[in-house]
Structures are given as structure tokens and as C-alpha cells.
Amino acid sequence: MVKRYNITVLKITEKPIKGGTLDFVFDPPSLASKANSLKYQEGNLVWGTALKQRIKSHFTQSKDFKFEVFCDWLTNDECYVSLDPTEKDKWGTPVAKVRVGFHQHDVKVAQYLVDKGVEIMKSMGAHKAWGNVFTSPTSNLIAGGCRFGNDPKTSVLDKNCKVHGIDNLFVTDGSFMPNGGSVTPTMTIYANSFRVADEIKKRMSQV
């Protein structure tokens, strides 16, 4: 069960601006992992009958329900990829250093969405509802780094996601977008990959 609510932020500035998306989802079942996590309660190890009752109560009397926040992570000068001045790979090539910064506006929008999510959860009857805003980069849904465009001076890829100046190198992950927008970019990545694949097929047929 997935519900999406588009929230427009109205209270950060005097005029409406784009906010983001709240996804309300049930966690996918991971019984062994969840049962294992229940062995600790307030930092103390639980075992025996107490642990069995805790596991039974969790799986028969409650249900975890969560919301995920998606909002723009604005492109800014603190987001870039550079080469490490000292660290090198096994071929002697400097390794990449990825710098991920954030704009204070991103945090304000995210906090507004989190507050809305908690409010909706409580109105739905949740016994406990909370949310957090993180300024550190996530481990998934990464975008940016190889933006596409027409000018090699301001973009890594051309409009078909081919690296400028290299005829046989295409990039079709999330890096072609300047940022992930205010929704999950997965389907956009899929659609663009098929588009680029058609372009590659066209090029190969002309060889």
C-alpha cells in the first residue's frame, strides 16, 4: 500500500514555492532482521519469555508505518567532484573526492514536510509518530555529478547522455540530472535509459 501526497510549502516565504512529496508506506517484510532488533529494549538485552512476548506482540498487535520525504536538494557550489591530491588507485590515478553540501533552504523545506508527515500520522491514529531531517547525503537515490547539456563547459554529458568528446561512453544513472527533484527519480532514470538505448541502437545501425 503506497499513498503519495504532494505538499506545497506556503509558510517559508511570502509566496508559494515548490515543496516535495511524502510517501506513506508499510515497510517490506524482513521478519528475521526485525525479530533480531527486538532483542534490545532501552539498551538492555532481552531474552527468554520476555523476548518471545516482545516478538509476538510486535508481529500480532502492531504495524510499522512510515513516511519518506522527497524534496529538492538544490544545486550549489558545495556539491562537486574533485581529485584527491594524494590518494591514488592501483593504477596510479588520483581517486575521486565527492563533496556533498546543502542549502539551508533544503533543510527548511524538509522540516516542513516532516512536520506535515507527523501531523498526518497522528490524525490517522498512530500511537507514536516522529520524523527527522538529515543534512548528510543518503546512500540511495543519488543524483547529480554528470549533468547533461549542450555546452561542454557547463555539462559532462550531451543531450543524449554521451560524455562530451568521447564517442562510445554513455552515462544513464541518476548523475545526468542536476538533482533528484522533489519525487523519487527512479522511473525517470529508467525512462531516460531506454531513450539513450534507442540512441545507441540508432548509432550502431549507422556503422
Q: What is the pLDDT of residues 98-147, one digit of tens each?
A: 888 888 888 889 999 999 999 999 998 888 888 988 877 777 778 888 99
- Do 128 and 178 lie in one domain? The reply is no
Enter the C-alpha cell of residue 133: 531531517
Q: What share of the chain is helix, strand, coil (3-state, %, to 5)?
A: 30, 25, 45
- Do 176 and 121 lie in one domain? The reply is no
Kindly report the pTM of this predicted structure: 0.68
pLDDT tens digits along 54-82: 999 888 887 778 888 888 888 888 888 89
> Half-sphere exposure (CA, 13 Å, Cβ side) for 174?
14
pLDDT at 155: 94
- Do 181 and 144 lie in one domain? The reply is yes
- Do 76 and 88 lie in one domain? The reply is yes
Task: Name the domain boundary from 137, 155, 177.
Answer: 137
- Do 106 and 155 lie in one domain? The reply is no
- Do 108 and 130 lie in one domain? The reply is yes
Enter the C-alpha cell of residue 158: 550531451
**Structural domain that includes position 130:** 1-27+64-137
- Do 127 and 152 lie in one domain? The reply is no
Q: Structural domain tally of the chain?
A: 2
- Do 109 and 176 lie in one domain? The reply is no
- Do 144 and 130 lie in one domain? The reply is no
pLDDT at 75: 80
Label residue 184 exposed, middle or buried (CB < 10 Å: 0-12, 13-18, 19+). middle
Which amino acid appears at position 126 of this protein? A
